[in-house]
Amino acid sequence: MWPQGGVAAATLTLGFGALGIAGIGILTLAVHPTWLVRIVQTRQRRVLFLDQRREKHELLVALTLDDGPHRDITHELLDILEENHSKATWFLIGSNMDKCPEVVERIYKEGHEVGNHTMYDCASWRLSPEEFTAQLLATERRLEPFFRKGEDGKPWKWFRPGHGFYNREMIDLVEGYGYKLVLGSLYPLDTLFRNKGKLIAKYLLWRVHPGAIIVLHDREQQKIQTPEVLRVLLPELKRKGYSVVTIPELLKLQ
């Protein structure tokens, strides 16, 4: 187990049933209102929640998708992204990559970004530092061919902890391996719901802001919901003037 006293990300795992948009909104606002995320970002610069530099200048948002890849849902999500001229950063689980390497190839070839989401779908903070490191590096070995590089020749390496919780020791460890820990500023708690795609999309459109990092999930439980979210969300964002980009594009990395 990690030492006590770490910082918890704005993630909640509760067994709520179906809620309407008001319920989703109240629940998520209680977890991380945007004004609070801005304050946290200012004070915790080692973790990326949003890009405040974009907020007054450009209508850019980064879309992130956790827990893939999968043979069925991931292909559908990639089709929707292509149709809407949008890009995403995919935080991939190593054991899932082993089941469908061709899907990872497609993610890369179509210009998306990949990130490390550990080897298995588990809470990172519950792992011992030794087990956490082993999972991080095992996933990295699978991701290495797909890391994109900056002008300095160094790969961009993004990490999101399983179940969204982190502490300072975890940040120290991933930074030691060249990673930037990424969370987000718009997380509609989509893993708590099924078949609520249109409501989640409306909620995200209500709260969207330039420089936002959106967190959604590419997983079996949401294989109907997440495509529905994107089919509503992406055209509406475009209509509002937004571009949906990867994390490096949001940060204007070359």
More confident position, 115 or 40:
115
| Structure confidence at residue 2 (pLDDT) | 59
Instruction: Indicate whether 10 belongs to any domain.
Output: no
Specify the 3-state DSSP secondary structure of 93: coil
Instruction: Indicate whether 101 belongs to any domain.
Output: yes
Instruction: Indicate whether 5 belongs to any domain.
Output: no
pLDDT at 60 over 60: yes
What are the pLDDT digits (tens) for 119-170? 999 999 999 999 999 999 999 999 999 999 998 999 999 999 999 999 999 9
Nearest-CA neighbor of 33 among 171, 186, 205, 151? Answer: 186
What are the pLDDT digits (tens) for 164-179? 999 999 999 999 999 9
| Structure confidence at residue 254 (pLDDT) | 61
| Structure confidence at residue 18 (pLDDT) | 42
pLDDT at 94 over 50: yes
Instruction: Indicate whether 228 belongs to any domain.
Output: yes
Instruction: Indicate whether 13 belongs to any domain.
Output: no
pTM for this predicted structure: 0.90
Q: What band does 63 get if pLDDT is binned at 50, 70 and 90? A: very high
Task: Take residue 163 and report the two structure tokens written for it.
Answer: 């179940």
Q: What is the number of domains present in the chain?
A: 1
CA 10/CA 217 separation, integer angstroms: 16
Q: What band does 53 get if pLDDT is binned at 50, 70 and 90? A: confident
| Structure confidence at residue 230 (pLDDT) | 98
pLDDT at 6 over 80: no
| Structure confidence at residue 118 (pLDDT) | 98
What are the pLDDT digits (tens) for 13-34? 323 334 465 555 555 555 678 8
| Structure confidence at residue 58 (pLDDT) | 86
- Tell me if 50 sits within 8 A of 37, measured CB to CB: yes
Instruction: Indicate whether 210 belongs to any domain.
Output: yes
Residues of the domain holding 127: 21-250
Instruction: Indicate whether 67 belongs to any domain.
Output: yes
Instruction: Indicate whether 6 belongs to any domain.
Output: no
Nearest-CA neighbor of 13 among 27, 25, 33? Answer: 27
Task: For residue 207, give Cα distances in angstroms to 34, 62, 195.
Answer: 8, 14, 20
Q: Give the CATH number for residue 116.
A: 3.20.20.370
